[in-house]
Structures are given as C-alpha cells and as structure tokens.
A and B are shown apart, each in its own frame.
Chain A
Amino acid sequence: MRKALTLVVTGLVAAVLGILSLGGLAAATTATEEEAVSQAEELIEKAKQANEPDPYTPAIYGSR
C-alpha cells in the first residue's frame, strides 16, 4: 500500500514538473522564435505603414 502510494505521488510530481519543464522549454525555443519573428514582422510592417522608423533599430531599449 505504502509503495503504491509512493509510486503514485512520485509519478504525479514528476508528471507536473515534466509538463512544466517541457512547456517552458517549448516556450523558450520553438514557439517563441516563431512568435518573435511574426511579431517583429508585424511591428515592422505597422511602422512602415505609419511612416515611422523601424522599431528594431538599435535605439530601442526594449518594448513592453
């Protein structure tokens, strides 16, 4: 009984941590890269349409 409980709790904790890790890693690598590219393209396009300078010029300290 005790071993079964240990296994269940261990499994659950490992599953939660695993999901969080995989989610985080996915966010940090593939998904974000794609999102960043599309977001950047969108912002550059918007700036062009508004006749404003490219927001990805080095002068930008950061964006919110």
Chain B
Amino acid sequence: MVRDRLLLYAVAAVVTAMVLAPLAAPGYVLRYDMVFVPRQPLTWDLVAPAQGLPRAVPMDAVVSVLTQFVPGWVVQRIALGGAVLLAAVGAGRLVPTERTGVRLLAAVGYAWTPYLAERLLIGQWGLLVCYAALPWLVRAGLELRAGRAGAVARVLLAAAPAAITPTGGLIAFGVVSLLAPRRGRWRGSTIAVAGVALLNAPWVTAALVTDAGGTSDPAGVAAFAPRGENWAGPLTALAGTGGIWSAQATPASRALPLVPLVTLVLLALAGAGVGLLRRRTSPGVSARLLVLAGAGFLLAALGTVPGTADVLRWAVAQLPGAGLLRDGQKFLAPYALLLVVCVALGAERLVTRVERTNREVAGVVLGGVLLLPVAAMPDLAFGGAGRLWPVSYPADWPVVAGRLAADPGGEVLALPLSGYRAYPWNGGRTVLDPAPRYLPATVLIDDTLRVGDVAVSGENPRLQEIRQLIGAGRPAAETGVRWVLVQQHRADQVDPATLAGLELVYQGVFLALYRNPAAPPSPVMAAPARWAVVVALAVAVVVVIAALFRRYAGGLLRGNLRSEVQTLEDWHA
C-alpha cells in the first residue's frame, strides 16, 4: 500500500519534472496570462478592481500576500509544480481500482492532457490549480456522499484552491452541488455547498461593486470559441480535451493528422471503462460524474455550435457575468477528469482480458496505454518544447517601482496602449503587461484584446475614456493620470505629442517614467463598496481556517489513516 503510494508520487514527480524542467533555471516564466513579480504589492486594484472585471480575484490578493513572505519566483514554482504533481496524484488516487499500473496510467494521463498543456502555455495557472484540485474535490465529494466523518472539511479544503479564480470557483461549486447531496444526508451537503458558495464570495462581491458593468463585447464569443486543431474540427479537439482558441497556446503536435485517431482510441477505452466505473461506485455516482463531464463539454462547445453560439453572443452582451462563458474550453476540466478515469478503467478491462491468455502481453498493453498521451503530445515535455523559459526583469523595473513607492498617489498610464507586450528581454514571448503587478500604484493598461484581426473591447470605462483622448491626438497629460510609463520595447510607438507637458523622471533602457505636473498626488480612496470585497475575502479565509481546524485538530494520524482505508472500501462497496 505504502509502496504503491510512493510509486504514484514518484511517477507524478517524474511527469512534473518533465513538463516543468525549464523552471530549474532562475527567473520568472512570463507567458501570456502568467505574470509573477518579485514582490507583488497588496494594492486595492489587485484586491478589488474598481473599474475592471474581477478575472483574477482573489488570486492576485493571495499572490500579493504570499509574496510579502516569499519571492514571486518561489510562489510560481510552487503553484506550477504543485498543480502538475497534485493533478497526477489526485487522478491516480481517484480511480476505483486495486491495480497500481492503472493508477499510474490515470496519473500520467491526467497530467499530460492537451487541456493542461494549453492552459499552461497560455499562462492560466489559476485554472491549472483548479484542474489539480478537481480529483481531490471529487474524491472528497464522494466521501461526503458516503457519509464519512470529516468529509465536509475535505470538500472545503479541496475547493479553496480551485476558487482562486472565478472559473475555478464555478467548477468547484458545480462539482459539490452535484456530488454532495444525498437523500437523508442533507446537513453535511448543505454545509459543503454553502461553504463553497462562500469561497466564491470574493469574486462575486468584486463583480457586484466594480464600475466595469457585467457585460462584455460579444465579439469575444467567436474570438475565444474552441478551435479545430487538425482536420477533425473543434468538437473532436474538445473530445480530446484540447481545442483552446489560441494557436500559440496549442502544442504543435496537436496538428498531426493521427491525433483524432488517438482521441478515438481514448474514447473507445473510456467507453469500455464506464461499465467498471458504474460497478465500482455507489449508486448514482457514475451518472452524476457523467452529468458533470457532459455539462463541462456542453459549456465548452457552446461557442462553436451555430445555434448556441448566437445565444451565447446575446447572453455575453446582455447578461452580467455571462462573459465567463465566452472562453468555454476552460470548463472542460471535469470532462478531462472523467475521460482519464474511464480510460484507465477501460485499459484495466482490456488488460484483464489479455492477461487470461498472456500476462507479458498484458503488461505491454498497459505500458502502451500509459505512454500513449506522452507519445501523442511529446512537445509538452520541457516546458512545451522550450516555450516556457524563465527570465529576469531588467533593472529598470525595480528602479521605477522604487520611484513610485517614494512618491505615492495617482494613476500610472502604461504606453503604448496595449495589454500584452513582447519584450526583447523575455525572448519576444507575449505576456500580459507586468506593470499592474510590479508597481505599487494603480496602473492602467489597455484592456482591448486583439485576437488575430479582431479587437475584443475591454470593460474598463476609465480606459475607454483614455483611449478616446489619446486616439484623438490629445496629450496624456489631459487624461488626469499622474504618471506615464513608456515601455520602449518597440521604437517609435509613442507619439511625442502624447508625451507633451510631461516631466521625465527616469529614463532607462526599457522603461521611461514621466510625471504629469498637472495632476497632484491623490491618495487612493477605498470606496466603502471595496471593503465589501475585503469582508468577503475574510469570510472565505474563515471558511478555510474552520475546515483546516476540523480536518487536523481532531487527531491527525488517526483520522488520516482511517479515512484512506475507508475511502478504498467505499469505492468497492
């Protein structure tokens, strides 16, 4: 038992090392939405964005607090390494089987999905944390269904990391709402569902108090719809857990013509495994897991099916919060988990049949299925074939941060107007502007998203106003910002007329900081509504602390060991 557990962790560690090998080098991996900085200030805009949608609430607040104690590069490695490792171990432990090989198959399979690769390459590490928490959450949900003591606390502890992003929080809420309730056992499930709802409270509250409004540009539906990776189209890509909208975040191997055949093999194995899942879980569990996975798949497919895409476009433009659904592929996580579990069980069934005639061949088959995901997508190894690579921030960044810290107050406008930048010091990789997370001030970066030749408008009303002024050729001094940060990674991008009337405070190789003499320092006033987000955060923290207390205060060793044995027994009940 212990040997098997160690083997599972060892295999998970090897997979993690293979995927994240470049992170052994010093520095920060900066790619698309993944931004880590040495010490992220705990500013109001990161805790409760006043004029933007809370896409990184409470993730940014969590990182800000953590980086007060440990450097950002450590947090990044713990987050990424922990996500891949725990995803693998969680999936391995979730499979209802007694065969170690089948557990290892699930572990490797879940840590080597196109979903994980694509969300890693687009830098959405918060979503990967949810992906890693998912098997643990499902397991805890099943324990709760079985009436296990302490299961509510385990549900809440697994849901807490998932809920650091709105999407992860919604997925966690869906999982618990569907798995936990059981006739006659309402108390525990009600507490669990209510607890997970409270874990979602920070981003919900932030969405209610922001000035951004809740609706989004409907152009985003087509721009962020699932994308076909090869001849088989977007629905087949989704069936193989891939299909992210961005070509740059898709491993090149996904374009191979053989990939749909691999998906077909996996689906066939999963189909063979569903029967075993039904037999080895308590009544209703497999049906609920199927509903969960099906719902995730449907949400992912919404943007690509003609009729539903129109409905989604309408919803995104009219219904506050519906914008969360526009990049629907991210909701595929529960489908990916069920697919992997069923593939593992299907492989077990196949192997059991082969074993009757030849044990050696059975081992080869199991090994073959285990290596199939790796063979089909070898370019996830080594940080997506070198696409993730740590770099160091140029010396300009701490200098500018120091200047702003010494003279606080007022907004900083980042020019040229662009949310994403490709710095030469970052190997030309595109990354979300690090300024709002690096600098101790309210930094305004353009929130328009350019996908190919489509511009998806942002929601920030302040930026809309600034875009209009700058676009009309007016100087930045008229926007009312106190500071202007010019990022000089491309020559001739800022019209000198835009900088008219500003005083140059710092001129570095990559950054230039200007002060607007027309705008006096203005301390950030926290509107009472923003305090509501802080209260919601405090409530979420209390939920986590209460769950921790419940989980570990009552006899650490006794509870742990017994629960592991009971879980295994329950699966077979």
Instruction: Confirm or deny: A51 has a beta carbon within 8 angstroms of a beta carbon on chain B.
Output: no
Output the least CB separation between B401 and chain A (Å): 21
User: For A55, what are the chain B residues with a Cβ–Cβ distance below 8 Å?
Assistant: 452-453
Our pick among B249, B385, B418 for the contact of A59 (Cβ within 8 Å) is B418
Min distance, Cβ B23 to any Cβ of chain A, angstroms: 19
Instruction: Say if the beta carbon of A38 comes within 8 Å of chain B.
Output: no
B-contacting residues, A31-64, CB 8 Å: 31-32, 52, 55-64
The interface residues of chain B lying within 8 Å CB-to-CB of A18 are 375
The answer to whether B545 has its CB under 8 Å from any CB of chain A is no
Given A60-B420, A63-B248, do A6 and B361 touch, yes or no (CB 8 Å)? yes
Verify B365–A9 contact, CB threshold 8 A: yes
Whole-angstrom distance from the CB of B48 to the nearest CB of chain A?
24
Q: Are A24 and B420 in touch, CB under 8 angstroms?
A: no
A29 touches B358 (CB 8 A): no
User: Does A64 contact B223, Cβ atoms closer than 8 Å?
Assistant: yes
Assess the A20–B375 pair: CB atoms within 8 A.
Answer: yes
Known: A5-B358, A32-B252. A64 touches B247 (CB 8 A): yes
* Nearest CB of chain A from residue B94's CB, rounded to whole Å: 25
> Which of the segments B95-103, B161-169, B210-218, B253-261 contacts the partner chain?
B253-261
- CB contacts (< 8 Å) of B378 on chain A: these are 20-21, 24-25, 28
**Chain B nearest CB, measured from A35 CB (Å):** 8
Residue of B247, B358, B377, B423 touching A6 (CB-CB under 8 A): B358
* Interface mask (A9-28 → B, CB under 8 Å = 1, otherwise 0): 11001001111110111011
Interface size class of B (residues with CB under 8 A): 35 or more
From B420, B421, B451, B490, contact of A63 by CB (8 A): B451
Separation of A28 and B321 alpha carbons in the complex (Å): 37
What's the Cα separation between A52 and B245 when bound, in Å? 23
Nearest-neighbor residue (CB-CB) of B244 within chain A: A62
Tell me the smallest distance from the CB of A26 to a CB of chain B, in Å. 9
Which of A19, A25, A62 interacts with B379 by CB under 8 Å?
A: A25
> Is B430 in contact with A24, judged by CB distance below 8 angstroms?
no
**Is A9 a contact partner of B452 (Cβ separation < 8 A)?**
no
Q: Which of A19, A27, A52, A55 has the most CB of B within 10 A?
A: A27
When the two chains form their complex, are residues A13 and B418 in contact, meaning their CB atoms are under 8 A apart?
A: no
**A10 — which chain B residues lie within 8 A by C-beta?**
361, 364
**Bound complex: CA A59 to CA B458 (Å):** 13
Interface string of B395-428 (1 = CB under 8 A from A): 0000000000000000000000011111100000
Whole-angstrom CA separation of A58 from B368 in the bound complex: 42
A-facing residues in B140-169 (Cβ within 8 Å): none
Q: Is the CB of B419 within 8 A of A27?
A: no
Contact A9 B361 (CB under 8 A): yes
B93 at the interface (CB under 8 A from A): no
Which of chain B's residues has its CB closest to A60's CB? Answer: B450
B422-462 CB mask vs A (1 if < 8 Å, else 0) is 11000000100000000000000010111111000000000
Contact of A24 among B249, B256, B448 (CB under 8 A): B256
Produce 1/0 per residue, B226-257, CB < 8 A to A.
01000000000000000001111101110110
Task: Collect the chain B residues with CB atoms within 8 Å of residue A6's CB.
Answer: 358, 360-361, 364
Residues of B with C-beta under 8 A to A2:
358, 360
For B385, the closest partner residue in chain A by CB is A28
Per the bound structure, the CA–CA distance linking A61 and B32 in Å amounts to: 7
Residues of A within 8 A of B451 (CB): 60-64
CA distance A6 to B359 in the complex (A): 9
* Interface residue ranges of B343-367 to A (CB < 8 Å): 358, 360-361, 364-365, 367
In this complex, the member of B249, B371, B446, B448 whose beta carbon has the largest number of chain A beta carbons within 10 angstroms is B371
Query: What's the least CB distance linking B116 to chain A, in Å?
Result: 16
**Which of B223, B361, B422, B450 sits near A5, CB closer than 8 Å?**
B361
Contacts of A21 in B (CB 8 A): 374-375, 378
Chain A residues whose CB sits within 8 angstroms of the CB of B258 once the complex forms: 19-20, 23
B246 touches which of A17, A58, A63 (Cβ 8 Å): A63
Instruction: Name, among A2, A21, A25, A61, the residue most crowded by chain B CB atoms within 10 Å (CB to CB).
Output: A61
Do residues A59 and B253 form an inter-chain contact, with CB atoms below 8 A? no
- Asked whether any CB of chain A lies closer than 8 Å to the CB of B489, the reply is yes
Chain B, residues 53-72, CB within 8 Å of chain A (1/0): the string is 00000000000000000000
Q: List 26 A-B contacts (CB under 8 A).
A: A2-B360, A6-B358, A6-B360, A9-B365, A13-B365, A13-B367, A16-B375, A17-B372, A20-B256, A20-B372, A25-B253, A25-B379, A27-B252, A27-B255, A28-B378, A29-B385, A52-B453, A58-B418, A58-B423, A58-B430, A59-B446, A60-B420, A62-B122, A62-B452, A63-B246, A64-B223
Using CB atoms and an 8 Å cutoff, list the residues of chain B in contact with chain A.
Answer: 32, 122, 223, 227, 245-249, 251-253, 255-256, 258, 262, 358, 360-361, 364-365, 367-368, 371-372, 374-379, 385, 418-423, 430, 446, 448-453, 489-490
Closest 8 CB pairs of A and B: A28-B379, A24-B253, A62-B246, A13-B368, A32-B252, A58-B422, A20-B375, A59-B418
Known A13-B364, A62-B245; 6 more pairs at CB < 8 Å: A6-B360, A21-B375, A57-B490, A59-B450, A61-B430, A62-B32
